[in-house]
Amino acid sequence: MLRRARLTLVAAALLALGGGPGAGRARALEWYTAWVSTAYTEPRSNRTVRGSGESGRYGDSSPKAGAQGLVGIPRGAAASARRLEGCAAGTDYDVPQPPRPAAALEPPWIALVARGGCTFKDKVTNAARRRAAAVVIYNEPRFGNATVSMSHLGTGNTVVIMVGYPKGIEILEPVRRGIPVKMTIGVGTRHVQEFISGQSVVFVAIAFITMMIISLAWLIFYYIQRFLYTGSQFGNQGYRKETKKVISQLQLHTVKRGDKGLDVDAENCAVCIENYKPKDTVRILPCKHIFHRICIDPWLVDHRTCPMCKLDVIKALGYWGDPEDAFEVPIPESISGSVSLGSLSIALQEDDRNEVSDLSASSTNESVLQCNSLKEDAGETTALLDMDGSNSRHGEHLSNGNSH
């Protein structure tokens, strides 16, 4: 999920950088420089002054073509610097011309105007109405002396270039003095400039910050979960280790054919649902239910309870619970009588000890042996499977006690 979010943010960033239809301002910008050559004759010295250099820049909507003609400036520019901007709709232009025959055609001319006061389109439109072959806009110090990109959509085939302030003043001064200045404009070098719009930069920055926040949040969540998991695993390992120790104290028995109370051919383990076979090792729970050792041990480690009667085996053995709860073990009906007799014998034995202190040692030993045999029948689970042998041993003990 995190990886998909990252890919989405990257794709959106690439779209903002120029992949989508709405990213027109984030595309590569192509522009051309312009060669500007001027020539005029200084009247005082009769010397021809020439200047040439790749000092201009074509406008965005201008045809990339050459132009030439005499330089003209807005009329009245000598009296007012404001008129040099050429923003008035009916602006006239003064174009100083050299002497020529009366029948000669009027030569082409190029308008020279200052930047500012109105849009570039207004300046070009006003000059084009006066049949200007081209428009040269020179920059002002307040805007910076460098040439910049100009947007003047809708000005037709009029060639439009911009020059810096020093170049513009160099051309303007002789024209102000009435000296004809001939200008030639030529196509210069093609330039391709990659740039990113301000909106794209903001969008990419937001996308990057968002991605970093998501990554940081995911890392924090991951390490918290890992820490909690490691702690729980450590605690579970200790708990399982102690549980295994307690389970190992439960009685084990090897199944033999002919065990009383266990029909090898009919009974099966409730965990694996397979019949008991001779030489199988079974574990006997406090509730007298029998299971294969390899089946019941993993179950008890995870659940602690008998699969059949839900007795809490660990608590029944006296661990991790109140001592009183450890003896609350359900007793099957088959051995309830022996447990009652054992309890009664113990009670009688205690009463006899309190009331009669001069009982013989042989009588006392006989009572203790009888009590121990009854407790063994109730507590030791192997008596369920080996009851015949146990009874015979008990009889021998009792007969030996009577003979004494």
Where residue 44 sits, what CATH number does that domain have? Answer: 3.50.30.30
**pTM assigned to the model:** 0.46
Neighbouring CB atoms inside 10 A of 112's CB total 27
255 and 380 assigned to the same domain = no
Torsion sign (Cα): 323, 324, 325, 329: positive
174 and 36 assigned to the same domain = yes
115: its two tokens? 């930047």
d(CA 147, CA 88) in angstroms, rounded, equals: 24
How far CA 120 is from CA of 146, 164, 378, in Å, comes to 16, 15, 112
pLDDT at 375: 37
44 and 184 assigned to the same domain = yes
Question: Is residue 243 in a domain?
Answer: no
211 — phi, psi (to 5°)? -65, -40
Structure-token match 């520019």, residue found: 77
User: Any residues with CB less than 8 A from the CB of 152 and at least 6 apart, and which?
Assistant: 59, 60, 61, 62, 119, 120, 121, 124, 160
pLDDT at 367: 37
pLDDT at 385: 44
Question: Is residue 40 in a domain?
Answer: yes
CB 299 within 8 A of CB 315: no
State the chain's maximal CA–CA distance in angstroms: 171
Domain boundary among 274, 300, 330: 330
pLDDT at 355: 40
pLDDT at 220: 94
Question: Is residue 233 in a domain?
Answer: no
10-residue averages of pLDDT along the chain (404 residues): 49 48 50 95 92 94 94 78 84 90 84 93 93 94 85 91 94 93 95 70 90 94 86 64 82 81 75 86 88 89 87 80 39 36 35 38 38 39 43 42 42
Question: Is residue 324 in a domain?
Answer: yes
Q: How many domains does the chain have?
A: 3
Burial (CB count <10 Å: 0-12, 13-18, 19+), residue 213: exposed
pLDDT at 344: 31
d(CA 276, CA 256) in angstroms, rounded, equals: 10
135 and 118 assigned to the same domain = yes
218: its two tokens? 């995911």
34 and 181 assigned to the same domain = yes
186 and 146 assigned to the same domain = yes
28: its two tokens? 């590569």
159 and 290 assigned to the same domain = no
> CA triplet 103, 105, 111: central angle to 5 degrees?
140
353 and 311 assigned to the same domain = no
CB 65 within 8 A of CB 160: no
Q: Could you list the residue range(s) of the whole structural domain that residue 395 is in?
A: 335-404
Question: Is residue 221 in a domain?
Answer: no
At 343, which helix (H) or strand (E)?
helix 336-355
184 and 285 assigned to the same domain = no
178 and 50 assigned to the same domain = yes
Domain boundary among 330, 356, 379: 330
Report the first-to-last Cα separation within the chain, whole angstroms. 86
Where residue 257 sits, what CATH number does that domain have? Answer: 3.30.40.10
Question: Is residue 21 in a domain?
Answer: no
pLDDT at 318: 80
93: its two tokens? 């232009």
Domain boundary among 177, 193, 209: 193
d(CA 224, CA 230) in angstroms, rounded, equals: 10
Question: Is residue 295 in a domain?
Answer: yes
Question: Is residue 287 in a domain?
Answer: yes
Neighbouring CB atoms inside 10 A of 26's CB total 21
d(CA 325, CA 45) in angstroms, rounded, equals: 128
307 and 343 assigned to the same domain = no
User: Any residues with CB less than 8 A from the CB of 297 and at least 6 apart, and which?
Assistant: 244, 247, 283
> CA triplet 88, 119, 86: central angle to 5 degrees?
30
255 and 390 assigned to the same domain = no
pLDDT at 245: 82
